[in-house]
Amino acid sequence: MHTTPLYRQLANHYLDAIRSGTLKTGERFPSIRLMMEKHAVSLSTAVQVCRELEDYGVLEARPRSGNYIRQPDTLPKTVVSTPPPLDTGAYLGIHEQVSSVLKASQRATIKVNFASAYCAPELYPLKILQEHMIKALRQDQHLLGVQGSTGGNLALRNILARRALTTKANLTAEKMVITNGATEAINLALRAVTQPGDTVAVESPTFYGLLQILESLNLRVLEVPATAHSGINLFALEQLLQSPERIRALIVIPNLQNPLGSIMPDANKARLVQLCAEHGTVLIEDDTYGDLVDTEQPLSTLKHWDCSDNVIYCASLNKTLAPGLRLGWISAGKWHERVEMLKHTQTRGCETLSQLAVGAFMKTPSYERYLRRLRKTLTQQRQQISAAITRYFPPGTCVTDPRGGTLLWVELPRHYSAMALFREALKVGIQISPGDIFSNTQRFDHFVRIGCGAPYSPKIDEALATLGRLLENQR
């Protein structure tokens, strides 16, 4: 199955032409009829290509004249959410949307959960970690009586720094802080480099948790289009960076983006790092999923391409190793001292026992063997769920085919409502993530994120068939 829909492939084709200057600003864009002829595509595909390019802000429809390549300086900003007032505890904007979805899920009795990005607990090496914990407690009877350092256990930081060398990132243990997951790492990064009211750009769509963090820190959000094909659209980003509004920071998930599953090509990573450095925009890298790539060859990080110490690297073990331990880390380069101070004032150091257990496991060859097995399992689970979606969902549904991870991003034909599906599915104990929570725009109201972290079973198959039936009722 080709996972990038034809209209997106064509849209990318034309974006490349605009980028390279083959199609210039102000020029007439090929007509719908010409596209149908030249690319042997249907009317609806040709129209979708134009719509996609309009979404990127590079195409402008002029009445009775056709489509034209847009002037870069008139490009619209994709979205700006106004910062919520500081003195209210009420959820506003995206946070309200996300909270209502999460709360509705918490109230329901869930039998099958497709909303989770985690693996099923049985896929994690829990027994081994428990054994390492018992060993650590035996070795140091005072362990629970002593507070750990703010930066975290140095042995674990050394292991993480050594592992990062394989992803070509040069992180030093001394300039790393162990955190409560990537969530705390990203919070720290943002607090270190922004002030309330600053503008921070994110990919669109992006993980809703990032949008919640931004809103909670009173930051303005700018969404930059991204595709499952290659992640953030650098052309659109470049235009935004040139606009008068200063973009203080940009958060990007370059590897196995949530929800798109995209992996940025190395050339794009290098260009992105360069662009941000040129415009004085701090690049915050969220590498939560990088270790879950299918291939043996590790993915490069943005940090690898960073020559000017402008990338803050954030990562987590919560998807790859043990969600219950909530371990993540941040390598903030020149902002390290500030991050360490913020960590100290916010939560102090993370507890030591889990760090010792994880460190003890990660330094053995069993860790790589475990990851290899996990990746294979996830590939199979994704394939099985993807095949079932093709079987049960309405014709015209598109599913991504990510090269790793736990997530599928499913595009329903436009007239279907993901939020209606979410509500109806909850009534029968099935939880999904509706596309609306991954953006402050309404662009993803017909998208659904499906988590593939659990082994395929008749129960999962039946739940997907039920989702298909619920969608049929929407017709």
Ligand X SMILES: Cc1ncc(COP(=O)(O)O)c(C=O)c1O
User: Nearer Cβ to ligand X, position 18 or 185?
Assistant: 185
Site for ligand X, residues 314 to 343, rule: CB under 6 A: 316, 318, 328
Q: How far is the CB of 290 from ligand X (least distance, A)?
A: 10
Of 116, 119, 237, 253, give the one whose Cα is nearest residue 186. Answer: 253
Q: Is residue 288 a contact residue for ligand X (CB under 6 A)? A: yes
Query: Residues 101, 156, 217, 253: which binds ligand X (CB under 6 A)?
Result: 253
Q: Which position has the token pair 């979404």?
A: 55
Query: Among all residues, whose Cβ is closest to ligand X?
Result: 181
Q: In the window 171-200, what residues touch ligand X (CB under 6 A)?
A: 181-183
**Nearest residue (CB) to ligand X, 57 versus 405:** 405
In the complex, what is the shortest distance from the CB of residue 341 to ligand X, in angstroms, rounded to a whole number?
21
Least distance (Å) from ligand X to the CB of residue 183?
3
The pairing of strands 231-232 and 220-227 is antiparallel
169 phi and psi, to 5 degrees?
-100, 135
Residue 265 DSSP class: -
- Contact call for residue 207 and ligand X (CB under 6 A): yes
Nearer to ligand X, 183 or 439 (CB): 183
In the list 52, 198, 223, 286, the residue contacting ligand X (rule: CB under 6 A) is 286
Footprint (CB under 6 A) of ligand X, residues 106-165: 117
Does residue 236 touch ligand X according to CB under 6 A? Answer: no
Q: How far apart are CA 108 and CA 206, in angstroms?
A: 25
Whole-number Å distance between alpha carbons of 281 and 50 = 30
Helix (H) / strand (E) containing 110 = none
**φ and ψ of 191, to 5 deg:** -65, -30
Number of residues that bind ligand X (CB under 6 A): 13
Pick from 266, 287, 256, 273: which is nearest to 163 by CA? 287
DSSP state string for 308-360: SS-EEEEEESTTTT-GGG-EEEEE-GGGHHHHHHHHHHHT-SPPHHHHHHHHH
How many H-runs (helices) and E-runs (strands) does the chain carry?
15, 17
Interface pick for ligand X out of 125, 152, 209, 254 (rule CB under 6 A): 209
Q: Which is nearer to ligand X, 48 or 179 (CB)?
A: 179
Residue 354, interface with ligand X (CB under 6 A)?
no
Q: How far is the CB of 38 from ligand X (least distance, A)?
A: 38
Query: CA quadruple 36, 39, 41, 45: dihedral positive or negative?
Result: negative
CB of 118 or CB of 416, closer to ligand X: 118
Give residues in contact with ligand X (CB under 6 A): 117, 181-183, 207, 209, 253, 258, 286, 288, 316, 318, 328
